[in-house]
């Protein structure tokens, strides 16, 4: 892994921890889908080993409501640890991004970020 990639991943983890410490995140696929359907979501993040069916469902819902979708660079176990949880987290939804630069950091990251989806169909 190159130094630049390590810095990107560190930045993503730092911003993720900021958002989580402020309590502006819902964890889990079920809660993420609920937040998307209520149009409360600002950003959806899923682990690299998230089941394909969930990825597809997230993509469809994110395109519907115009929310960015980000594929986390590691598996669900690592995403859980990055969230400060002792368990796996397949997906999470950021409900409020105030006070953090998570959207900016993810936009500059080289990992997959799907935009609002309006032009992807």
Predicted pLDDT at 12: 85
Longest pairwise C-alpha distance within the chain: 40
What's the whole-model pTM score?
A: 0.83
pLDDT in tens, 76-117: 999 999 999 999 999 999 998 888 888 888 887 755 556 544
Residue 27 sits at φ, ψ, to 5 deg, of -105, 145
**Domain spanning 3-113: CATH 3.30.1330.30:** yes
CA dihedral sign, ordered 47, 50, 54, 56? positive
Domains of the chain: which residue ranges? 3-113
Give the C-alpha separation, 120 to 113, whole Å: 12
Predicted pLDDT at 86: 94
């Amino acid at each position: 892994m190159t130094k630049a990639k390590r810095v990107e991943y560190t930045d993503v983890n730092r911003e993720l921890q900021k958002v989580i410490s402020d309590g502006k995140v819902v964890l889990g696929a079920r809660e993420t889908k609920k937040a998307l359907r209520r149009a409360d979501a600002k950003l959806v993040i899923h682990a690299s080993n998230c089941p394909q069916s969930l990825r597809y469902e997230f993509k469809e819902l994110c395109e519907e409501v115009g929310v960015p979708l980000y594929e986390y660079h590691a598996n669900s176990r690592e995403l859980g640890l990055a969230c400060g949880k002792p368990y796996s987290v397949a997906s999470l939804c950021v409900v409020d991004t105030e006070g953090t630069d998570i959207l900016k950091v993810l936009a500059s990251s080289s990992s997959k970020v799907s935009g609002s989806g309006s032009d992807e169909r």
